[in-house]
Structure 1
Amino acid sequence: MLESVCRNGIHLIEAPSLEIELGVRAVFTCRDGGVSRGPFSSLNLSYNVGDSRSDVTSNRNHLQEAMGIALSNWVFCRQVHGVTATVVGPLQVGRGSTDFSSAIPRCDSLVTRLERVPLAVLTADCAPVIMVAPGGNAVSVAHVGWRGALAGVVTVALDKLTGIVCCPPGGVIALIGPHIGPCCLEVGEEVAERFELRFGDEVIVGRPPAVAVDLGAACRRELEAAGVMSGNIFDTDICTRCDGSYFSYRGYSGTTGRQAGLVAITRYPG
């Protein structure tokens, strides 16, 4: 389902079968292929981390060429590790595409039925989770950190997606992008206990005081519990802290750029 490709000098992870079969483009970026420097080198896509505004704009324009969809159509949100899902309609198109201030506020997932309107979340250890409705007539992307996972952001986004097209969740396709792995996501005992209570002991790695959680497995468990078929869930299984091709908040002590998870309907069904 997921393949590594290079477009316009940018290395991406894509799901080509989704575009062929459903007319949906799903993309996860890495940190290579841009113009940003220092800790933001080089394809930083966030205006809100201290990078040069002009460099971020150049990076987004470069990615726009690789995506083949005008940046003026892209939609971003101001993520807060919450659960709010926003349905993107014509009035929201373009929000956050060229600045941070216009991004949809206090929101961690986006859903749309609009054609050629890429939805984006920005991450640097958190998981970008893309969901595609059966038939490809609606798409969603969610920003999932450990707080959002515990709060149920995946279920909220899935419910919003299936609700706008009135479909059961079983046929939804879910893609879990690069995120910090269980090898590196060490948490306190209280957080680990909450993860075990919500998702089961299989998402817990190690023992106190060195206990970690498996964020990808937690996302998968949440999707399955909500009704998504296990065979429709795909994880890149890339740890953003271990793999130097990605930005990592923990790996760079908080000063780093952001990669993106993007999804767009490129060819409306029928």
Structure 2
Amino acid sequence: MNKAAFTKSHHESFMWLRPWMDENSQLLSGFTTKNGGISEPPFTSFNLGLHVHDNKEHVILNRKLLANHLNMPLSNWVCAEQVHNSVVQKVTRKQSGKGMHAYEDGIAQTDGIYTNESNVLLALCYADCVPLYFYAPNHHMVGLAHAGWQGTVKDIAGEMIRKWVQEEQIPVEDIYAAVGPAIESCCYIVDDRVISAVNEVASSADVYVQISPNQYRLDLKKLNVYLMKKAGVNEANIIVSSHCTSCEDDLFFSHRRDQGKTGRMFSFIGFKED
């Protein structure tokens, strides 16, 4: 698996998912940082989340700044509500603009979205949870999923893959996936309740280490890769970011590090027409 997936752009506010983009000039795919915006503490400064009690006008202006950098207007973006479940939905141009100016207008009760239409840019919010990217270049299909520990153990990664295989008739060998910047095991300690849920879906996976009674270091990135492979994706088709959102406080918001008072980054992916 390629560990050098996300590279800094010319602008401090986001990084590109380069390996895929280099192969397809129409693809926009990346992950934002916390820098380059106008939000004030504790959301300094490029907060893109409308649900964290930041000034709404600041968030929307930050979103417009990103849209301008990517030359993709907000009217072409689609967001989802993100409720830590495993629901995956296909979106079309009819849903363009959803969730971009009001959180409650996003795709409801959904943590995974995908599309095969151009000029629809998918976007989801993060501050430690795992961004999952999906790409089937031969079928003009892209997708995003939000995988906190709950979405991960509910197998949202596998749900996206099964949707593509069963409903979109995409051969699993044609599916590529990427795991974006997220909290890593160095900073992510969980309890028996979480590990019990992990064991139900991945009892044979080496994804956590016990450090004391009722305390474990959990590798959510590795767990999602395990579930992608279990769903049939070739390991050679999976890219994993080496960035830890909690460690790298100069780049990323972190819900755990910042004790819940923090902003949100965007993952984004979509095809842009010439």
Q: TM-score range by the shorter chain?
A: over 0.9
Written as runs of structure 1 = structure 2, the 5 A alignment for 1:112-191 is: 112-135=115-138, 137-191=140-194
* Identity of matched residues, %: 29
TM-score using structure 1 length? 0.93
> 5+ residue gaps in structure 2?
none
- SS of equivalent residue, structure 1 residue 25: strand
Distance 2:32 2:173 in 1: 27
> 5+ residue gaps in structure 1?
none
Post-superposition CA distance 1:196-254 (Å, at most 9, x none): 34223410123332312100000100100111110111111211111101111111111
Q: 1:5 aligns with which of 4, 8, 20?
A: 8
Count of paired positions: 267
Equivalent in the alignment of 2:69 = 66
Written as runs of structure 1 = structure 2, the 5 A alignment for 1:1-270 is: 2-7=5-10, 9-22=11-24, 23-135=26-138, 137-199=140-202, 200-209=204-213, 210-244=215-249, 245-267=251-273
**4+ residue runs over 4 A deviation:** none
Return closer, same or farther for 1:263/1:257 CA change in 2, 3 Å cut-off.
same
Post-superposition CA distance 1:149-171 (Å, at most 9, x none): 11111111222234454111222
Distance 2:13 2:167 in 1: 33
CA RMSD of aligned residues (A): 1.7
In the alignment, residue 96 of structure 2 is paired with which amino acid?
V
- SS of equivalent residue, structure 1 residue 219: helix
- SS of equivalent residue, structure 1 residue 40: coil
TM-score using structure 2 length? 0.92
Post-superposition CA distance 1:94-132 (Å, at most 9, x none): 101122121111100101011011101101010110100
Shift of 1:142: 0.1
